[in-house]
Amino acid sequence: MRNKTEFWHAARQAVLHVGSRPDRKPAKSPFRQQFAKAIVGRTPFIRLEVTPPDEAAPFSFALANDARLKWRNVKLGRLPLQLSAYRAQGAVTVVEFALPSTAQCWGLGERYGGLDQRSRVHTLITTDDHSHQESSDALYKSIPVLYLMDGAQSHALFVDSPAPQRWDLDSRLDERGSVEIFTRRGVSIYLLGPAPLPQLVAAYTLLTGRTPLPPRFSLGHQQSRWSYPDESTIRAIATEFRNRRIPCDAVVADIDYMEDYRAFTISRERFPKFEGMISDLGAQGFKLIPIVDPGILKSRRDATYVAGTHKDVFCRTVQGDPFVGKVWPGKCCFPDFVREDVREFWGERLRFLFDKGVGGIWNDMNEPALFGQQRPFDPSKQQLPKASDQMFLQTAPEGTVGHLEVRGLYGMQMARAAFEAQLAARPDQRVFTLTRSTYAGGQRYGAVWLGDNKSWFEHLRLSIPMLMNVGLCGFAQSGVDIGGFGENADGELLIRWYQTGIFYPFFRNHCAMGQRPQEPWAFGPKVERAIRKLIRARYRLTRYVERLFVEHRESGAPLMRPLAWHYPDDSHAWHVSDQFLFGEDLLVAPILNRAQRERMVYLPEGCWEPFDGGAVIPGPTQIVVRWGFDEVPAFVRHGAILPLLPAFEHMGQLEQRTILLKCYGQNASGRLWLDDGESLAYQRGEYDDWQIQLRSGRLSLDPRHLGYAKRPKRVLIEAAGQQTSISLSDLATTTARRR
């Protein structure tokens, strides 16, 4: 193994319940010794193993690593938060812990609701709930990590099992929490902390992985619709963006590009020149992102079905026949993505699309969703059925198991197949994949969106805490459908949604079949003007967005952060979930209600300047702010230096745009990251990382790393209203000479 990162990749594969059963000789395993050292950083943690019932081993034991980084056994019952775990009747493992009244419950993946998940029962089982609202419970993802936020006593609890789980977070108001895991396999339980939130997230993402730097185009605006029905519509949409000078980097092809919705086919009638269309779009600065669903039509005339049958890739029932379920193409079979050979098979099929030049892959329906069978198991009513009574069987590394045992992995392993296939097809290029369903660690394989929201202000409001929680669970590139998927948007909603959405890490407008169109121009010139200005603001911030993804890679930090991430000592900040920080420097506080023109904004300590300019406001304070339709509803922190770009229309134009380093306040610092935005050369050191300082009017630029051959010659600096131009190439030469 070449370096630490690679070691981590290998370590994770073994640790996550993707496969390995907990091994029972931890102290002697050299791997685990290393593991303890690597993860601990500054964060203490405990790992608890519950072994499968059929094993003669003690049913559970706990391990902790102490200051000397040695594993030792700890007595159950003396763990922090009174953590304990045991096997209950039937196929249930139970984890119990104390939930002090002062603790908030953040994270837990994709939950419908605010930041704090406390005082309710949460079911984790991947579910296609296409009409979610307040009484919804399980959604598309299963990400079993909870942050118990309680000041200096904050912890993270990660229950590593892709089987269905039920988390009771003090629903009886008795200050107890519990997790029931419906499984006959083992479970690994990690308790990280006590530590501050950023440190907990750093440790959790060391354990489960981080999102690699995304390709630059995928930081831009994407336009989607179920469905743009044919080639000429897609071409027209792209041209419309360019004619109207509204920035956009990708158009999405939903299920209608295929022949009868069959994966790895293209409709001859509606997309006769699919490849030509993609290359023409490319010339205009657009990528095409096609959808790929897991269900393969059970038919002798379907090449994927034939090849898949030959290679035995489909999940089988206990009778030994391939399982058949209904989805878009009709009666379908489902690849067993937990198997590596099946992921490879899928990767070979995907080549068909990569060869045609698609910009990435959008994975949908991978809970897996089945028509008429949205939820195969309800843990509030049932016991885990015997493997033979589950819908179908799958192949875990230790052998055949019931589908429910590994259901949480289905979407993640499908996205992994797409991620790895794209990397193989285009070695050295960054990968874009988007998935609806996923599990803990799925952040390694790209972006997520939160499924079928509605064109409601309610869903705009909730996107903020929901995406913050998903981000705390490690998913850096996340977003919701801007404008809302179901129901009809209108001009005001769309504007307000873009005012928030320009700060979603994954930035896509998408709309359902049968709904009123909601492209940026759909509601007349006034709405279009406002949205154009907003999208441009996102593009002006691209260099900053890139820096935030670099930060995520270094520390696991999400892009959308709760205020308490940076202001942990501010007790008010702990309770704000209708505002967020976009990195450390931007505080976003958009309008989230119909017909509202003003809102209360909480500004923590420091000085804050409106992004579009205006009077500086000292915090901490609560103020009323009026946001016009075309205003960027954000404040910049004094002390920041933002890398800004002049407006442009697609990422292919970024390199030619002069960077303006805008200093906010007398003393400020910033960071400028430069690389090609497309390849993996940054992993070989081909990037620049500049540290910028402004101290009482004196400015300095110091390269922490110099490796990008195509660095721009000059950058502009703006401090105290004055602009000066600085030669980066001269600075780079002198630094190189000094070294």
DSSP assignment letter at 386 = P
Q: Least distance from C-beta 436 to ligand MIG, angstroms?
A: 6
Nearer to ligand MIG, 436 or 540 (CB): 436
Residues 679-718 that bind ligand MIG (CB under 6 A): none
Q: 249, 367, 405, 420: which is the annotated catalytic residue?
A: 367
Tokens of 64: 């902790």
Please check whether residue 542 is in contact with residue 219, taking contact to mean a CB–CB distance below 8 angstroms. yes
Q: Least distance from C-beta 294 to ligand MIG, angstroms?
A: 12
Residue with tokens 């900053």, as numbered in its chain: 544
Query: Phi and psi (nearest 5°) for 86?
Result: -155, 160
Residue with tokens 């605010």, as numbered in its chain: 114
**Strand segments (E) across 82-186:** 84-88, 92-98, 104-107, 121-124, 145-149, 155-160, 165-169, 176-182
Nearer to ligand MIG, 228 or 648 (CB): 228
**Residue 291, CA distances (Å) to 225, 227, 413 in order:** 11, 11, 16
Residues 636-655 that bind ligand MIG (CB under 6 A): none
Closest to 707 (Cα-Cα) out of 682, 724, 731, 739: 682
Closest to 83 (Cα-Cα) out of 187, 12, 199: 187
Nearer to ligand MIG, 226 or 410 (CB): 226
Closest to 397 (Cα-Cα) out of 311, 336, 323: 336
Residues 324-353 that bind ligand MIG (CB under 6 A): none
Nearer to ligand MIG, 87 or 510 (CB): 510
Please check whether residue 364 is in contact with residue 436, taking contact to mean a CB–CB distance below 8 angstroms. yes
Local structure of 200: helix, strand or coil? helix
Contact flag: residue 489 with ligand MIG (CB under 6 A): no
H or E segment and range at residue 548? helix 542-555
Q: Least distance from C-beta 123 to ligand MIG, angstroms?
A: 20
Residues 48-107 that bind ligand MIG (CB under 6 A): none
Nearer to ligand MIG, 287 or 436 (CB): 436
Nearer to ligand MIG, 228 or 445 (CB): 228
Provide the angle, in degrees to the nearest 10, between the axes of the packed helices 197-208 and 4-15: 80
Q: 364, 420, 519, 630: which is the annotated catalytic residue?
A: 364
Nearer to ligand MIG, 106 or 485 (CB): 485
**Residue 222, CA distances (Å) to 56, 250, 307, 701 in order:** 54, 5, 33, 34
Contact residue for ligand MIG among 367, 405, 452, 519 (CB under 6 A): 452
Q: Least distance from C-beta 512 to ligand MIG, angstroms?
A: 6
Q: 128, 293, 405, 452: which is the annotated catalytic residue?
A: 452
Q: Least distance from C-beta 508 to ligand MIG, angstroms?
A: 10
Local structure of 137: helix, strand or coil? coil
Contact flag: residue 255 with ligand MIG (CB under 6 A): yes
Q: Least distance from C-beta 226 to ligand MIG, angstroms?
A: 3
Name the residue type at position 629.
F
Contact residue for ligand MIG among 379, 451, 465, 556 (CB under 6 A): 451
Q: Is the peptide bond before 26 cis (omega within 30 degrees of 0)?
A: no
- Cα gap 112→461, rounded to integer Å: 11
Q: Least distance from C-beta 222 to ligand MIG, angstroms?
A: 12
**Residue 377, CA distances (Å) to 40, 182, 391, 440, 469 in order:** 37, 10, 10, 20, 25
Please check whether residue 101 is in contact with residue 118, taking contact to mean a CB–CB distance below 8 angstroms. no
Nearer to ligand MIG, 245 or 331 (CB): 331
Name the residue type at position 320.
G
Nearer to ligand MIG, 23 or 487 (CB): 487
Whether 256 is catalytic: no
Nearer to ligand MIG, 403 or 436 (CB): 436
Contact residue for ligand MIG among 364, 420, 578, 649 (CB under 6 A): 364
**Strand segments (E) across 498-558:** 507-509
Q: Least distance from C-beta 343 to ligand MIG, angstroms?
A: 22
- Which residues face 726 on adjacent strands? 715
Tokens of 620: 């901490």
**Residue 228, CA distances (Å) to 68, 97, 225, 235, 370 in order:** 60, 50, 6, 10, 24
Contact flag: residue 145 with ligand MIG (CB under 6 A): no
Q: Least distance from C-beta 510 to ligand MIG, angstroms?
A: 6
Whether 378 is catalytic: no
Contact flag: residue 129 with ligand MIG (CB under 6 A): no
- Cα gap 325→632, rounded to integer Å: 46
Size of the site for ligand MIG (CB under 6 A): 11
Whether 364 is catalytic: yes
Nearer to ligand MIG, 328 or 648 (CB): 328
Q: Least distance from C-beta 65 to ligand MIG, angstroms?
A: 42
- Cα gap 654→472, rounded to integer Å: 30
Residues 377-436 that bind ligand MIG (CB under 6 A): 436
Q: Least distance from C-beta 363 to ligand MIG, angstroms?
A: 10
Please check whether residue 114 is in contact with residue 577, taking contact to mean a CB–CB distance below 8 angstroms. yes
Contact residue for ligand MIG among 254, 405, 585, 630 (CB under 6 A): 254
Q: How many CB atoms lie within 10 A of CB 687?
A: 19
Local structure of 229: helix, strand or coil? coil
Query: Strand 176-182 relative to strand 165-169: parallel, antiparallel, unpaired?
Result: antiparallel
Provide the CA 14 distance to its chain's centre, in angstroms: 22
- Cα gap 344→359, rounded to integer Å: 20
Nearer to ligand MIG, 123 or 224 (CB): 224
Residues 496-525 that bind ligand MIG (CB under 6 A): 510
Contact residue for ligand MIG among 39, 85, 156, 291 (CB under 6 A): 291
**Residue 368, CA distances (Å) to 120, 256, 385, 643, 649 in order:** 26, 20, 18, 42, 37
Contact flag: residue 226 with ligand MIG (CB under 6 A): yes
Q: Least distance from C-beta 728 to ligand MIG, angstroms?
A: 42
Q: Give the residue nearest to ligand MIG (CB).
A: 226
Q: Which residues are catalytic?
A: 364, 367, 452
Q: What is the contact surface with ligand MIG in residues (CB under 6 A)?
A: 226, 254-255, 291, 364-365, 436, 451-452, 485, 510
